Amino acid sequence: MTEDTKALKIEAARAALANVEPGMKLGLGTGSTSEEFVRLLATRVAEGLEIVGVPTSIRTETLCRELGVPLTTLDETPELDLTVDGADEIGPGLALVKGGGGALLREKIVAAASRRMIVIADESKLVEALGRFPLPIEVNAFGLRATMLAIEAAGRRFGLTGEIRLRMADGKPFVTDGGHHIVDASFGRIPATRAFADELNAIPGVVEHGLFIGLASLAILAGRDGIRTIDAQS
Ligand SMILES: O=C(CO)[C@H](O)[C@H](O)COP(=O)(O)O
């Protein structure tokens, strides 16, 4: 990541912080942009802001603990005011691709439990159609090959082809916080996003996928010309 991109992520995170009010219950995303948000939030907490956060990954939880951000769990606090999270792609209607950082399952559960989700990113994440970024799909380890074939067949029914690859880390299949694996599907442009999301959900070995539809209410994008916001309703 260049210094410029990092600076843009910090600007987007700073703009999102303006939406945080005292007493809020927050969902805290995962990834480098979310990390900047957590760092800025921690500074406000140190100054006396009272909030409580639900982290979407062990990585975010660890950072929050290091920085003194008060945490709760979704079991203790099942309804959240606001989730702030990054994305790999932001498409029309604020449909997102997420999961590049491997936290998509918890991210989706937390976003769905929140009244609002603000997605923060540098402007390079904005796309005309989702699919340039390989779609992360979280799968159960049991029957992995069969699930991969079923994903491939689902893609074909939608005219989507391309490599479907098991994500690796240190020479071994990547394991999510939930103990599953991730398959990255390089389908390219995904036109019927909602219908394809439903198709993936119907595959038994698919735990969750990285298409986030109807969850984000606002995008805060930082670019060279400043901050741009996109409302899901617009
Ligand atoms: O979905 C995610 C993690 O599962 C991240 O939000 C996404 O990968 C964006 O990350 P970054 O802010 O580092 O670009």
Determine which helix (DSSP H) or strand (DSSP E) holds 116, and give its type and residue range: strand 114-122
The DSSP bridge partners found for residue 211 are: 97
90 CA from centroid of ligand 1 (Å): 11
87 CA from centroid of ligand 1 (Å): 5
Residue 228: inside a domain: no
Contacts of 70 (CB under 8 A, 6+ apart): 45, 51, 52, 53
- How far is it, in rounded angstroms, from Cα 137 to Cα 152? 12
For residue 191, give the CATH number of its domain.
Answer: 3.30.70.260
Tens-digit pLDDT profile for residues 30-52? 999 999 999 999 999 999 999 99
Whether 232 shows a pLDDT value over 80: the answer reads: yes
For residue 41, give the CATH number of its domain.
Answer: 3.40.50.1360
Same domain, 139 and 104: no
Same domain, 115 and 7: yes
Whether 1 shows a pLDDT value over 80: the answer reads: no
Tens-digit pLDDT profile for residues 95-132? 999 999 999 999 999 999 999 999 999 999 999 999 99
**Is the ipTM, as predicted for this complex, more than 0.85?**
yes
Q: Where are the beta strands (DSSP E) in 124-167?
A: 135-139, 164-166
Q: Which of 66, 63, 137, 46 is nearest to 97 (CA)?
A: 137
107 CA from centroid of ligand 1 (Å): 10
- How far is it, in rounded angstroms, from Cα 59 to Cα 30? 7
Q: Give me the active site residues, please.
A: 107
Residue 73: inside a domain: yes
Residue 24: inside a domain: yes
82: left (phi over 0), alpha (psi -120 to 50) or beta: beta
Residue 232: inside a domain: no
Range of the domain at 219: 3-125+214-223
- Looking at the structure of the chain, the number of domains it has is 2
Same domain, 112 and 29: yes
Question: Which atom of ligand 1 is nearest the CA belonging to 122?
Answer: 14
pTM for the complete prediction? Answer: 0.97
Name the residue of 98, 109, 209 whose CB sits within 8 Å of the most ligand 1 atoms, as the mutation to test its pocket: 98
